[in-house]
Amino acid sequence: MIPGPTILVINCGSSSVKFALFLADEPMERLWSGAIERIGLPNGHFRAVDARGLPVIDASKDVADHETALRLLLDGIGQHLPGPPPSAVGHRVVHGGPECDCPLVVTAAVEARLRELVPLAPLHQPHNLAGIAAVRNASPGLPQVATFDTAFHHGLPRLATLMALPRKFRGEGIRRYGFHGLSYEYAVDALRRNGVDVERERIIVAHLGNGASMCAVKAGRSVETTMGFSTVAGLPMGTRCGDLDPGIVLHLITERGMTVERVQRLLYEESGLLGLSGLSRNMADLLARQAVPEAAEAIDYFCHHARRHLACLTAALGGLDRVVFTGGIGANSPEIRSRICDGLAYLGLRLDAGHNANQARVISADSSGVRIEAFRADEELIIARQTRDLLRVFFTEAKVRAHG
């Protein structure tokens, strides 16, 4: 029997629903996690594991759409976890817009405003909204909260939000926003809980994965970041190009005759590690095939630009005290961390080779002038906490009802 109210966390992609189920009480125990994959495609798959990582559901199942996926998930929770259904759902939403610095309870008005932001995040926002609609249709009345990847960067200094375009465009929402905020919030919170004085330190968090960015943190707040108006900017990624001379886009359209839709697909889905290597978007695959020149060059390119962006962010901080590597590559690839840090010894970054290879949390050498750490980000936990805190009164009433 589940001992109290629970929060279901959902992250909807174009053909997947990733999820986690947490107890609402501290410590927020993770009861379940998993994914429903290949939605709308053949050979769909529904997998869920419990708090110990043991499989609960591992089934091949074709799922027509997100609404069907959410009904399947809620039914699975009901069948395998005796007790009341989830008390609320927290969603990862990529874009909250220029006004949003906190999570919001989903209402018709909020949903409409988030829909207006689709042009600012065309490859993410529609799927996030599809998840919200799917939960509403599958379980009307279930409270929903939207948490935003842009919110952590809401207090960026004004200069860090500007672009050198005519001023009228800023009023139309064309400015630098920053993303991966839920990951950065987790990193800062984890450091704080570990006794680090984040109010005094100058910190760079490197979220390196299929999507990649970095954030300069001062006094616990974002002061600069590598992503800007869109999730295609900054570092090279699995399939996204990162920073690109805008003249190339103009050339592709005017001289090569490519449509806007074709260019968008090129920049978001065909570039990055995949485009450079012609082999894979996955860093682990490329590291295993470094004998292939194209794979080796893609890795070199990624590390070169990671070093360049990390060094640039120190200018916004006026120095550097700590670097945190997170994300799928940052938390799990000793070789990539080593190659990035080896080129930054002049900034005081020195790894302990043994600690790095053994995946220790602190991987800097004793002689390093900068503390270097590597750990996995738990964005789902941040979403669950934000949802609980926003609906605290609701959860208090639910607990009273559960205990009669």
| Per-residue confidence (pLDDT) for residue 397, from 0 to 100 | 66
pLDDT in tens, 227-280: 999 999 999 999 999 999 999 999 999 999 999 999 999 999 999 999 999 999
Catalytic residue of the set 75, 101, 149, 197: 149
What is the distance between the alpha carbons of residues 102 and 386, in angstroms, rounded to a whole number? Answer: 9
Distances (CA, A) of 370 to 214, 366, 367: 17, 10, 9
pLDDT at 2 over 80: no
Portion of the chain with pLDDT greater than 70, in percent:
98
Closest C-alpha to 220, from 329, 317, 150: 317
pLDDT at 122 over 90: no
Domain limits of the chain? 6-148+381-402, 197-369
Say yes or no: do domains 6-148+381-402 and 197-369 share a fold.
Answer: yes
Please work out, in degrees rounded to the nearest 5, the angle formed at the alpha carbon of residue 173 by the alpha carbons of 167 and 176: 85
Active site residue 149: yes
Q: Does domain 6-148+381-402 have CATH number 3.20.20.70?
A: no
| Per-residue confidence (pLDDT) for residue 1, from 0 to 100 | 63
Give the DSSP per-residue string, 66-105. Answer: HHHHHHHHHHHHHHHS-SSPPSEEEEEES---TT--S-EE
Answer whether 0.85 is exceeded by the pTM.
yes
What is the distance between the alpha carbons of residues 121 and 106, in angstroms, rounded to a whole number? Answer: 19
Phi, psi (rounded to 5 degrees) for 2: -65, 130
Summarize the confidence of residues 8-13 as an average pLDDT.
Answer: 95
pLDDT in tens, 160-202: 999 999 999 998 889 999 999 999 999 999 999 999 999 999 9
Phi, psi (rounded to 5 degrees) for 114: -65, -30
Class of domain 197-369: alpha beta
- Across the chain, mean pLDDT equals 94
Give the single-character DSSP code of 219: T
Q: Which residues contact 186 (CB under 8 A, 6 or more apart)?
A: 326, 377, 378, 379, 381, 382
| Per-residue confidence (pLDDT) for residue 401, from 0 to 100 | 64
Mapped onto helix, strand or coil, the DSSP state of residue 147 is strand
**Greatest CA separation for the chain:** 71
| Per-residue confidence (pLDDT) for residue 404, from 0 to 100 | 56
Closest C-alpha to 9, from 115, 186, 131: 131
